[in-house]
Each structure stands twice: as C-alpha cells, then as structure tokens.
Amino acid sequence: MYRQTEGMGEKRRKRHCRFCENKISQVDYRDERLLKRFVTERGKIIPRRISGSCARHQRILTVAIKRARHLAILPYVAETFK
C-alpha cells in the first residue's frame, strides 16, 4: 500500500488528537453536538486514521458513541439518504 505524498495535489496535513490538544479526559455520552462530529452521516464511527484521534481517546469516544446509541441520542443506522 502506498501513502499519498506531497506533490499529488493536496498537501497532507499532520493529524493530531483533538481531545489531547484540549485536555479532555472524559467524553459525555449525552453530548450529541460533540459526538455527531465523530460519526458519518450514516451513523458509523469515523476511524482514527481519518479523525486523527489517539488510541486512548478513540477508545473513550467509541464507548460514548455506543452509550449514546443505546439511549437513542445517536442512531444505530441513519437512513437519511438513499
């Protein structure tokens, strides 16, 4: 597998964990506004190779998203488009 490098049009931005930067250690599973940004339109959890979260925070985030799904704050599957 090849990594896209510079010169392919867009420059590769360095990924960084947004939670580490803001020193957040807990993620509230009721915070829909925050969690929504880490799932796709369909409701899938965005992998950390895309979002740039560190392993620890991705783990915390994943648990929070799953709890939110149980409480119908986030959908398990969103059929917003076909």
Partner 1 sequence: MQLYDSTFILNPQAEESNFDAQIKEAVELIARYGGKLVHENRFGMRRLAYEIQHLTQGYYVSLVYEGTGDVVKELERHFRLSEHVVRFLTTIYQQPEGAVDEILAAVPEQGIAAANLDEGGENEA
- Interacting residues toward partner 1 by CB under 8 A: 1-2, 18-19, 21-26, 28-31, 33-34, 36-42, 44, 46-47, 50-51, 67, 69-76, 78
Tell me how far, at minimum, the Cβ of 6 lies from partner 1, in Å. Answer: 18
Tell me how far, at minimum, the Cβ of 26 lies from partner 1, in Å. Answer: 5
Q: Is the dihedral of CA 28, 33, 38, 40 positive or negative?
A: positive
Tell me how far, at minimum, the Cβ of 12 lies from partner 1, in Å. Answer: 13
Q: How far apart are the first and last CA of the chain?
A: 31
